[in-house]
Amino acid sequence: MKFSEDKLAKVSEIKARYPEGKQKSALLPLLHLAQEEFGGWLSADTMDYVAELLSITPIEVYEVATFYSMYNLKPVGKYMFEVCQTGPCMVRGCDDIIDYITEKLGIKPGETTTDGLFTLKTVECLGACGYAPMMQLGKFYREHLTKQRVDEIIKECRDKAALNN
Amino acid sequence: MAIKLLLEKAHVQGIRTYEVYRREGGYTALEKALKELSPEAIVEELKKSGMRGRGGAGFPTGMKWSFIAKPEGVPRHLVCNADESEPGTFKDRYLMEFLPHLLIEGLIISSFALGSNATYIYIRGEYAWIPDILEEAIREAKAAGFLGNNILGTGFDCEIYVQRGAGAYICGEETALIESLEGKRGNPRIKPPFPAIKGVWDRPTVVNNVETLAALVPIIKMGGEEYAKIGIGRSTGTKLISACGNINKPGVYEIDMTISVEEFIYSDEYCGGIPNGKRLKACIPGGSSVPILPANLLLKTTKGETRYMNYESLSDGGFATGSMMGSGGFIVLDEDQCIVKHTYTLARFYRHESCGQCSPCREGTGWMEKILKNIETGKGKMSDIDLLWDIQRKIEGNTICPLGDAAAWPVAAAIRHFRDEFEWHITNPQEAQIRNFGLAHYADPIHIPVTEHSKSI
């Protein structure tokens, strides 16, 4: 397991943002980078590699990786639907959206489809309350969700996956 | 028409780019600050402006800045808190997404005033596309000579870096944010020492909210005294309100703090009333942590006076009959909403976000979630209400950071104002699964308007 030259250059750039001897500050950004690069989740090997890059002990990485909700500690589907379920989204009908995704994909929150394509996850407030209901899909938000929008998103993901295969 | 100091140019085509921002008068506040004012003079202007921190606590920013220690030879840092995670709040996202240069300009002015040569924007991890926008703005500002070495020939050097969090509400608390920036779990520190003395890497640090730092631009442009003339009392300047829930026009609004809550909800300039001709039941006016108010207490104080959208008026009556301005996350609930269920989702949020360091918060938030879920799903007991009250009392004030209070207040306020709705859930468990409690007496005796606009939608 090793970052590409490109990514290693990025690692150096990130480490240079902090004062001398404070390279541990690069841990969160590096974990994001590693998760993107190595299959969408952080295995023990990935975390050990990040520890090595920063010359810190593996436990310093594990304790951080387990604290923050965006780091996945087990494999997830290629497309993760992270649907917000906090008050303002609840008021605008997120429960129906979650139920609908469960019905369409046959997975409950926390589960992944058997083809490894989709994971459904419920999350707490993502700061899109005015555009609810919403979900995070990869880097971006999908807002003003309706059942029809969910259908379109599922189709979009399937099409993209088919194109890549 | 309302006064707009921050969002005035938000709809100018291409305002995200340096070229357009500059053409529209951007970076003139920065030029004024660096060429005509000393760091001390900027802090003075900020004090005169009466600016209060826009992240939620409302602490006077000028005073916060004046606390920063200046030991010889020790670098100082400014950290911009962009970890916006309070349910109902999405104003900073709007600012960063659409007016990145406004924030960058405010940050450079602030960095100059505080003597920060390396300034960090700590942004919540989920806003994953925004760092690209900010980094592009930083590149452009640097190319224009507003960042880097010897800015405008003043000898002042400054770099701005964007750091993404990874999903933790607690990192909005300034000492947790500092821990996170250092590459650790977001466990808040015990204060003192305050960040102004010992912050990131044990160096003097100021942490301010995005909106606060962006406001440096109009404050410098117009001068602190002029800025302070806008608004009322100790609520000076403008405030961004992110409005959501059961309203016709959810979104981010800039208000001067002299408008009434009623106007904010019902006028077409702002929320545009409540959809489908429904009536207002309740509102959380300042982000999920602040007390929920039933309609009658929201629109008027117990003295029968109109309630306004400002720090003083929203907190009129204390927690007994008032609430707080908080972060400006304005959540409106109509007559069909269930207070028990809504409170349950908030309790679940705080349980999820508790860092686990202090036992009253770690254990208490879990208990509150469990009990509220029981009541919501028809398994509640009458004694649960008092138990909830008891738990929230034991969390409040007994934790290192304010997350404990933030978790306790929504539960306390829900019981305080909507106790009969909780009781109804418990005595009518089956009925409560089918229908909501409705408005009951909360909307009386004052008149709750239904606007023509909201009827037609």
Contact residues, chain A, for B346 at CB < 8 Å: 86-87
- Does B326 share its domain with B343? no
Beta bridge partners of B260: B308
DSSP A61-92: HHHHHTTSTTS-SS---SEEEEEE-SHHHHHT
CB-based contact A91 B87, cutoff 8 Å: no
Please, are residues B221 and B29 in contact by the beta-carbon 8 Å criterion? yes
pLDDT recorded at residue B449:
52
Domain that holds residue B317: 235-332
Give the CATH number for residue B366. 1.20.1440.230
The nearest CA of chain A is from the CA of B452 a distance in Å of 22
pLDDT recorded at residue A137:
98
How many separate domains does chain B show? 3
> Does residue A110 belong to the interface with chain B, where contact is any CB pair within 8 Å?
no
ipTM score = 0.97
For residues B123, B124, B129, B131, the Cα torsion angle rounded to the nearest 10 degrees is: 10
Nearest to A119 by CA among A149, A147, A82: A82
Mean pLDDT per 10-residue interval, chain B, length 457 residues: 89 97 98 97 97 93 95 96 97 98 98 98 98 98 98 97 98 98 98 97 98 98 96 94 97 96 96 94 96 94 94 94 96 95 97 97 98 97 97 97 97 96 95 86 53 45
Structural domain contains residue A45: yes
- Does B292 share its domain with B405? no
Contact residues, chain A, for B373 at CB < 8 Å: none
- Does B34 share its domain with B153? yes
* pLDDT (mean) for A3-14: 97
Nearest to B347 by CA among B380, B374, B308, B386: B374
Structural domain contains residue A71: no
Angstrom distances, CA of residue B3 to CA of B95, B239, B268, B306: 17, 10, 16, 21
Give the CATH number for residue B179. 3.40.50.11540
Q: Which residue of B has its CA nearest to A26?
A: B183
Structural domain contains residue A48: yes
> Tokens in use for B234?
């100790």
Structural domain contains residue A116: yes
Give the CATH number for residue B269. 3.10.20.600
Structural domain contains residue B444: no
Which residues 232-271 of chain B have a CB within 8 Å of chain A?
A: 242-246, 250-252
Q: Which residue of B has its CA nearest to A71?
A: B166
- Does B299 share its domain with B156? no
> Does residue A87 belong to the interface with chain B, where contact is any CB pair within 8 Å?
yes
The nearest CA of chain A is from the CA of B182 a distance in Å of 4
CB-based contact A125 B85, cutoff 8 Å: yes
- Does B69 share its domain with B207? yes
B203-257: pLDDT as tens digits: 999 999 999 999 999 999 999 999 999 999 999 999 999 999 999 999 999 999 9
pLDDT recorded at residue B438:
83
- Does A23 share its domain with A45? yes
Alpha helices (runs of H) in B260-402, residue ranges in sequence order: 261-266, 295-299, 311-314, 318-321, 339-353, 359-376, 382-395
- Does B252 share its domain with B355? no
Give the whole-angstrom CA distance, residue B102 versus residue B27: 8
- Does A84 share its domain with A153? yes
Q: Which residue of A has its CA nearest to B247?
A: A130
Domain that holds residue A156: 79-164
Structural domain contains residue B37: yes
Angstrom distances, CA of residue B317 to CA of A139, B54, B322, B352, B396: 43, 22, 5, 31, 19
CB-based contact B345 A90, cutoff 8 Å: yes
Structural domain contains residue B453: no
- For residue A102, pLDDT beyond 60: yes
Structural domain contains residue A133: yes
> Tokens in use for A67?
């604290």
- Does A53 share its domain with A84? no
- Does B178 share its domain with B299? no
CB-based contact B166 A125, cutoff 8 Å: no
- Nearest neighbour of B345 by CB, restricted to A31, A67, A85: A85
- Does A86 share its domain with A110? yes
- Does A57 share its domain with A97? no
Contact residues, chain B, for A26 at CB < 8 Å: 183
A124-165: pLDDT as tens digits: 999 999 999 999 999 999 999 999 999 999 999 999 999 987
- Does B52 share its domain with B90? yes
> Does residue A136 belong to the interface with chain B, where contact is any CB pair within 8 Å?
yes
The DSSP letter of residue B122 is: E
- For residue A52, pLDDT beyond 60: yes
Give the CATH number for residue A108. 3.40.30.10
How many separate domains does chain A show? 2
CB-based contact B244 A88, cutoff 8 Å: yes
Which residues 310-369 of chain B have a CB within 8 Å of chain A?
A: 329, 331, 333, 337, 341-342, 345-346, 348-349, 352-353, 355
Structural domain contains residue A153: yes
- Does A109 share its domain with A57? no
- Does B88 share its domain with B187? yes
B51-78: pLDDT as tens digits: 999 998 899 999 999 999 999 999 999 9
CB-based contact A71 B166, cutoff 8 Å: yes
B-interface mutation test, from A81, A125, A134, A144, most B Cβ less than 10 A away: A125
Structural domain contains residue B384: yes
pLDDT recorded at residue A43:
98
Structural domain contains residue B207: yes
B-interface mutation test, from A121, A129, A139, most B Cβ less than 10 A away: A129
Structural domain contains residue A44: yes
- Nearest neighbour of A91 by CB, restricted to B245, B251, B353: B245
Give the CATH number for residue A34. 1.10.10.1590
The nearest CA of chain A is from the CA of B330 a distance in Å of 10
3-state per-residue secondary structure call for B336-353: CCCHHHHHHHHHHHHHHH
- Does A11 share its domain with A41? yes
Give the whole-angstrom CA distance, residue B330 versus residue B286: 5
- Does A83 share its domain with A160? yes
Q: Identify the domain boundary among B213, B229, B245.
A: B229
- Does B380 share its domain with B254? no
